[in-house]
């Protein structure tokens, strides 16, 4: 059930990203810096929803200051949804360190859902053709889409 919810959250985020890209307005640099600082502090919140929302928005803003905290979230995130949002944000930012972390998570994360979405984000946002989606999923781990 948790995997289904994590998959649904990821798909909603993907759909939102496409729509949000069309609605973002250019803000003055001082407002951007203040928003970025607030979102960076939100990444350290105890509230999981706030952390994930902040990670998503930092990815949409392309904040290079968020790369290291997002990499930490991708590596140490307690939930699949947190790691998925961090991977999406890192791919949207496009910094080489973050992209490399997403590529490694696509190969070595404990969750098949996180692995698959990291590979897909990497494929879509950074380097097309980097992952061949022909590998069979492990028999012990049902895919989100298979339900």
So what's the pLDDT on residue 11?
Answer: 64
Percent of the chain with pLDDT over 90: 61
pLDDT band at 126 (very low <50, low <70, confident <90, very high): confident
Predicted TM-score (pTM) of the model is 0.72
For residue 21, the model assigns a pLDDT of 52
CATH of 2-125, one of 1.25.10.10, 3.40.50.10480, 3.90.1330.10, 3.40.50.300: 1.25.10.10
What one-character-per-residue DSSP string does the chain give? Answer: -HHHHHHHHHHHHHHHHHHHHHH-----HHHHHHHHHHHHHHTT-S-HHHHHHHHHHHHHHT-GGGHHHHHHHHHH-SSHHHHHHHHHHHHHH--HHHHHHHHHHHHH-S-HHHHHHHHHHHHHHT-TTSS-TTSPPPTTS--STT-
pLDDT in the model for residue 134: 37
Domain positions in the chain: 2-125
């Amino acid at each position: 059930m948790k995997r289904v919810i994590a998959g649904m959250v990821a798909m909603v985020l993907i759909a939102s990203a496409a729509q949000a890209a069309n609605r973002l307005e250019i803000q003055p640099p001082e407002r951007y810096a203040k928003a970025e600082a607030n979102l960076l502090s939100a990444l350290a919140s105890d509230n999981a929803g706030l952390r994930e929302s902040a990670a998503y928005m930092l990815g949409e803003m392309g904040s290079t200051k968020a790369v290291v905290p997002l990499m930490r979230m991708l590596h140490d995130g307690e939930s699949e949804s947190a790691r998925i949002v961090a991977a999406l944000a890192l791919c949207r930012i496009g910094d080489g360190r973050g992209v490399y972390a997403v590529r490694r998570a696509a190969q070595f994360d404990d969750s098949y859902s996180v692995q698959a979405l990291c590979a897909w984000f990497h494929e879509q946002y950074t380097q097309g053709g980097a992952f061949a989606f022909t590998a069979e999923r492990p028999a012990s781990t049902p895919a989100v889409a298979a339900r």
